[in-house]
Amino acid sequence: METVAVLGGGKIGEALLGGLVAAGRAPGELLVVEAVAARAAELGERYGIGAVDAAEAARRADVLVVAVKPGDVPAALDQVHDVLADRSDARPTVVSLAAGIPTASLEARLPADTAVVRVMPNTPMLVGRAMCVLSPGAAAGEAELALTERLLAAVGRTVRVPESQQDLATALSGSGPAYVFLLAEAMIDAGVALGMPRATATELVTATVEGAGGLLTTPGSDGREGVAPHPGLLREAVTSPGGTTAAALGTLEAEGLRTALARAVAAARDRSVALGRQDG
């Protein structure tokens, strides 16, 4: 198997490393670059992986995963550039998990013709339920995309999109968990305001969100066998004419929920575009 080196031992970096170990990847095939010694030691003890400096990671890796904050990406790539340029064997595929940074900006800080795959993950990666959106750079082909998909399968699902759609994907799946959390928080607060104990309201809402997500991802759950469920059909199945759900949905529609969500997604997309320009 490939040697995978992760630049950055934060939450996302740890989620990937932990997922790979849980999926059966040998710890000896995994490396982490983490500037904080105590954190590096913690990861080594928890997963049995080796902590190395950036140069050593660049020398040994078949896949180099950039999992640092977007503002730290230039410095991280500068640390590995010369070692990658001097490698006599095939250079590693560089997989970037940094939000908003275009492949062209990454490639500009790497040796010419380095294969780069841009990935937008989301925080459910922390529990092995990520949605990761992939786009290839100029030198990345089918082999590099397939390699990245195999890697990320350890922490969730993947989908390929043209890089022109990465900002929109960021708005939908990258930021999307926060929209769901806000909805859950509002539902809990409404229950408390109407007299239910917070613990009970929290249990009801969180279990409902989990169950609804299961229906959305279970083929045939909307009554149509062999196809992905349609959220509109699932909603209709819950909604009896003149019933409680119809009353609630009527209020949400009247209050402009769909319009607000559409504007929110557009705002997130526009912000992703702006951050990408800012980062090069």
Reported as a single tens digit per residue, the pLDDT across 224-280 is 998 899 999 999 999 999 999 999 999 999 999 999 999 999 999 999 888 877 765
Please state the φ and ψ torsions of residue 111, each to the nearest 5 degrees: -60, 150
Q: Is the pLDDT of residue 31 over 90?
A: yes
Q: Running DSSP on this structure, what letter comes out for residue 18?
A: H
pTM listed for this prediction: 0.90
Mean pLDDT of the chain: 95
Range of weakest confidence among 62-66, 78-82, 225-229: 225-229
Q: Of 78, 36, 89, which is closest to residue 55 (Cα–Cα)?
A: 78
**pLDDT number for residue 89:** 86
Distance from C-alpha of 85 to C-alpha of 274, rounded to nearest angstrom = 31
Identify the residue with better confidence: 90 or 189. 189
Distance from C-alpha of 61 to C-alpha of 49, rounded to nearest angstrom = 14
CA 234 to chain CA centroid, Å, is 26
Q: Is the pLDDT of residue 159 over 80?
A: yes
H helices present in 153-241, as ranges: 166-169, 176-193, 198-216, 231-238
| C-beta of residue 64 within 8 angstroms of C-beta of residue 94 | yes
Give the strand pairing for 116-120 and 130-136.
Answer: antiparallel
The amino acid at residue 56 is E
